[in-house]
Amino acid sequence: MEQGAVLIVMVAALVIPIAMARFKLPSVPTAVAEIVTGIILGKSFFNVVTPNDTLNLMSTFGVIMLMFLSGMEINFDLFKRQPGKQRDPKSPVKLAVQAFALVIVTAAVLGLLLRGVGLFSDVFLATILFSTVALGVVIATLKEKEILGRPAGQTILLTAVLGEVIPMLSLTIYASINGGNAGRLWLILLLFVAAIILLRRFKQPYLWFNRISKSTTQLDIRLAFSLIFILVTIAETVGAENILGAFLAGMVMKLLEPTEATKDKLTSIGYGFLIPFFFIMTGVKLNLRILLTHPQALAPIPVLVGCFIIAKLPAILIYRRRFSARNSFAGSFLVVTTITLVLPSLAVAQELHAITATQSDAFTLAAVIVCIIAPIVFNAAYKLEKADLIKQRVVFIGTNTFSVPVAQQLSKNWYKVRMVTDDEDNYKTFNSEVADLTYLPKLDAAALREKELFDTDVMVMCFPGDNKNARLAKMAKEAGVARVIAGQNAPGRNRDKVASLVDQGVEIFNTFNVQISVLRSLIETPSILEMLMDTEAGLYEAVVRNQRFVGQELHTLPFIDQITVSRIYRNHRAISPHGDTVLEAGDHMIFTGERSAAEDVRRQLRRRN
């Protein structure tokens, strides 16, 4: 009978996403659908699945894996200060911290009000529950909206990160105090020390693992699960919650910089196998019959739903400093989403006898309701702003007959181009031909920073002199520019200098080599020059950054009928594309197509979300 229950849960996990796709329910989070399915299968309705040792074990593995993957979702680059940039009082980090601080205060006030009216006496636990945010649901919603990499998306994401990390630490403190282990609370520091040691010790071995990993050994996955079990074991030993150990393991794994393939495999194991057990079993254990038969138990649910919403809405006041009123409301309503940490918190509280089973069911049902409402309201309310639609920014340092035509062509497409020259004659010559040309008599870091020229996605050095280009390229890299391209027209004479630039991440181009390559292509493929010079059709390259297309086969792309993919470069190796070729993040796709359609395709592929 125990095996039959496991089989039913496995089949349910398979059927749920199929049914959601069939009935077109993309706004409903999969986690909520799984909980609802568990309610139907459990004691509330048909009672065909009852908790047993196997299902409880799989449910525990599921929540541990969920917390691990949540830890891996944190983008630590958002917390780094970019060299050469002043502190922005409206940066996503500062807005998120201020917004979540307001959420904490509001949640505590609501906890006090509930105690005052006699609905719930534990203020600390209420504050934890009302301040939690479902990071996984928020990330999925932002990715679907394709704004995860934009200022609004980053602000909401960081608020959600704080809404998972801070309540998780608070839950650990709560469990220690109420479990009679307050004297051992300092031992939790050992968990963080262990995480730091593992990060330092595993960094070099992990790089080695990536080089020798074979399909039969999957060393990267074995490392990930070793981290999970080591930190979960330490967490339980020092009196912390296992979910805190799993979350720290995810953060350590993220800092080890795993490949996209490793992330995909771990996500597949988690969301494809283990995590559905946790959500379905949560629904199975929920007893709606008791709630429905006892009006006094059902009455608090509307109040709890209101508290979950009201606790997060003050974030509007902070978001409004940078974003429109409409989008500020939408963003604050998205962080209302709460389910992943509420469930473990309730389980811990029940084990400590801090709440009754009926109260736990009421909180769970309220969390399910807001988890359904929040993404729907966000998708309906949020409207893309100019910051979300910003073109890729390119700065050319040096104006001449080589760089100006390139800038003119890019300006017609999905690029915002600025040009800089230190030659007054060149400025007078090209000023009428270039939309945004700046004259700087002295090209140094201070002058470029004053004009905010380092605030760009790509910087290109186009002077005839190699030494000048190299100096400016190093300066740009030190200022934190992501992509720097520098001309080196005599690389054979300066091999050490070129090698040094490459080591710093500078991309090198050589006009002489470009001319040779085009001539060779013209001889070998006569139509190549016509293709390159065609104003209606052209040859394009796009780096796949949009997670929406990662993992898709070429023939399933919605725009595949508008382009012809000729080559894919993956890790500097060429791949001959076929219809069943699966795209990976970071792939360089070379394709041809009509200009307007191809530019739209390139914009979609390159959008970070």
Q: Is the pLDDT of residue 154 over 70?
A: yes
∠ CA 9-11-14, nearest 5°, is 110
For 94-129, how does the pLDDT look when each residue is reduced to its tens digit (9 = 90+)? 899 999 999 999 999 999 999 999 888 899 999 999
For 534-606, the fitting CATH number among 1.10.3720.10, 3.90.420.10, 3.30.70.1450, 3.40.1010.20 is 3.30.70.1450
3-state secondary structure of 582: strand
Q: Give the pLDDT mean for 224-231.
A: 92
Q: Is the pLDDT of residue 261 over 60?
A: yes
pLDDT band, very low/low/confident/very high, at 571 (cuts 50, 70, 90)? confident
- Read off the tokens for 302: 């509307």
Distances 478 to 145, 170, 418, 504, 505 between C-alpha atoms, Å: 33, 39, 20, 9, 11
Q: Is the pTM higher than 0.95?
A: no
- Residue written as token pair 């990976």: 584
DSSP category for residue 441: S
Q: Identify the pLDDT of residue 257.
A: 79
CB atoms within 10 A of CB 275: 26
pLDDT band, very low/low/confident/very high, at 599 (cuts 50, 70, 90)? confident
Out of 244-258, 318-332, 390-404, 486-500, the most confident range is 318-332
Which residues face 438 on adjacent strands?
420
For 50-94, how does the pLDDT look when each residue is reduced to its tens digit (9 = 90+)? 999 999 999 999 989 988 988 887 777 666 655 445 556 677 888
Q: Identify the pLDDT of residue 584.
A: 84
Out of 58-72, 78-92, 390-404, 510-524, the most confident range is 58-72
Closest C-alpha to 7, from 280, 225, 198: 280
Q: Identify the pLDDT of residue 397.
A: 94
For 417-466, how does the pLDDT look when each residue is reduced to its tens digit (9 = 90+)? 999 999 888 888 888 777 889 999 889 888 898 888 888 889 999 898 88
Burial class for 208, CB neighbours closer than 10 Å (0-12, 13-18, 19+): exposed
Q: Is the pLDDT of residue 334 over 90?
A: yes
- The contacts of residue 24 (CB under 8 Å, 6+ apart) are none
Q: Is the pLDDT of residue 594 over 70?
A: yes
What's the full length of the chain, in residues? 609
Q: Where do the structural domains in the chain lie, given as residue ranges?
A: 2-381, 392-510, 534-606
Q: Identify the pLDDT of residue 425.
A: 83
Average pLDDT, the chain: 82
Closest C-alpha to 250, from 358, 135, 327, 328: 135
- φ and ψ of 5, to 5 deg: -65, -40
Q: Identify the pLDDT of residue 338.
A: 87
d(CA 257, CA 254): 5
Q: How many CA atoms lie within 13 A of 588 on its CB side?
A: 9
For residue 199, is it left (φ>0), alpha (ψ between -120 and 50) or beta? alpha
Q: Is the pLDDT of residue 592 over 70?
A: yes
d(CA 252, CA 259): 14
Higher pLDDT, 367 or 86: 367
Q: Identify the pLDDT of residue 230.
A: 93
pLDDT band, very low/low/confident/very high, at 211 (cuts 50, 70, 90)? low
Is the CB of residue 156 less than 8 Å from the CB of residue 144? no
Out of 148-157, 325-334, 379-388, the most confident range is 325-334
* 41-50, 159-168, 487-496: least confidently modelled range: 487-496
* 46-60, 203-217, 546-560: least confidently modelled range: 203-217
Out of 197-211, 250-264, 275-289, the most confident range is 275-289
For 2-381, the fitting CATH number among 1.20.1530.20, 2.60.40.1480, 1.10.3720.10, 1.10.10.10 is 1.20.1530.20
For 392-510, the fitting CATH number among 3.40.190.10, 3.40.30.10, 3.40.50.720, 2.60.40.1180 is 3.40.50.720
Q: Identify the pLDDT of residue 24.
A: 72
Q: Identify the pLDDT of residue 181.
A: 67
d(CA 154, CA 77): 11
Q: Give the pLDDT mean for 542-566.
A: 82
DSSP 180-221: T-GGGGGGHHHHHHHHHHHHHHHHHHHHHHHHH--TTT-HHH
CB atoms within 10 A of CB 24: 7
Higher pLDDT, 338 or 594: 338
d(CA 589, CA 585): 11
Q: Identify the pLDDT of residue 33.
A: 86
What type of residue is 587? D
Closest C-alpha to 565, from 591, 534, 601, 528: 591
pLDDT band, very low/low/confident/very high, at 524 (cuts 50, 70, 90)? low
d(CA 18, CA 249): 32
Closest C-alpha to 327, from 338, 312, 311, 316: 316
Q: Identify the pLDDT of residue 395.
A: 93
Q: Identify the pLDDT of residue 101.
A: 95
Q: Give the pLDDT mean for 512-530.
A: 64
Q: Is the pLDDT of residue 409 over 70?
A: yes
Comparing 2-381 with 392-510, is the CATH topology the same?
A: no
